[in-house]
Amino acid sequence: MAKILFVMTGADQWTLADGTKHPTGFWAEEAVAPYEAFTGAGHEIVVATPGGVVPPVDKGSLAAEVNGGQENADRVAEALASMDELKRPVKLAEVDLGAYDAVFYPGGHGPMEDLAVNADSGRLLTDALASGKPLGVVCHAPAALLAATGQDGSPFAGYRLTGFTNAEETQAGLADKAKWLLQDRLVELGADFQEGEPWAPHVVVDRNLVTGQNPSSSGPLAAELLKKLGA
């Protein structure tokens, strides 16, 4: 059995370019699908957040229209309610990477607010990448990579990866309201950004780094992490 660390946002609001606050949090599917895949394979999950706060779910991610209908939306909500690990997160600053076999970051706009500038998360990502342990990051969670620094710039420079694209942010109606766009920032740090079709599953694997473009990529990403764990 492996022990997998879920690093999650503690932010329930995302500050837009005009200073207004957009309600946010983590995206439900991006936590539920990997959680079910990992626990279904017999692995243990521990959740970590900045300050050890309970991660807030983006209520928009529980809507029927983004879950393929009300039936699945209800299923996702029930799954979240049963994830006891979400209710007792550890403090990100106190995480010992050596205690875990893999690290996973779910998305939602929340990471754009807090993990993008969180030094504890940045150090963890740098160490996880260097360790060779499976590291999965999906949708908006690659914003956390912006806080990872090394002696010669970003440790993720030159890596093939993906994340929520400018096209998807535009189609979601938030591109012109954001302070910055994730795809742009990842390109600026020197990553080799791989863009797939909007909203379609798209997973990129480069060494121990596994990234997913959008919510529908979270399940396939979890499958890739399981392969790396040998499960």
**C-beta pairs of 178-186 under 8 Å, 24+ apart in sequence:** 178/16, 178/17, 178/112, 179/15, 179/16, 179/17, 182/112, 182/140, 182/142, 182/143, 185/143, 185/146, 186/142, 186/145, 186/146, 186/156, 186/161
Tens-place pLDDT, residues 122-152: 999 999 999 999 999 999 999 999 999 988 8
pTM exceeding the 0.85 threshold for the entire prediction: yes
Q: What is the chain's mean pLDDT, rounded?
A: 97
* Token pair recorded at residue 199: 């909203």
CA 5 vs. chain centroid, Å, equals 12
Tens-place pLDDT, residues 156-187: 999 999 999 999 999 999 999 999 999 999 99
CA 128 vs. chain centroid, Å, equals 15
Beta strands in the chain (DSSP E): 3-7, 13-15, 21-23, 44-49, 90-91, 102-105, 135-138, 160-161, 192-193, 203-206, 209-212
CA-closest candidate to residue 83, choices 140, 45, 139: 45
Asked whether residue 216 carries a pLDDT value surpassing 70, the answer given is: yes
pLDDT given for residue 150 in this prediction: 84
Asked whether residue 231 carries a pLDDT value surpassing 60, the answer given is: no
Tens-place pLDDT, residues 62-104: 999 999 999 999 999 999 999 999 999 999 999 999 999 999 9
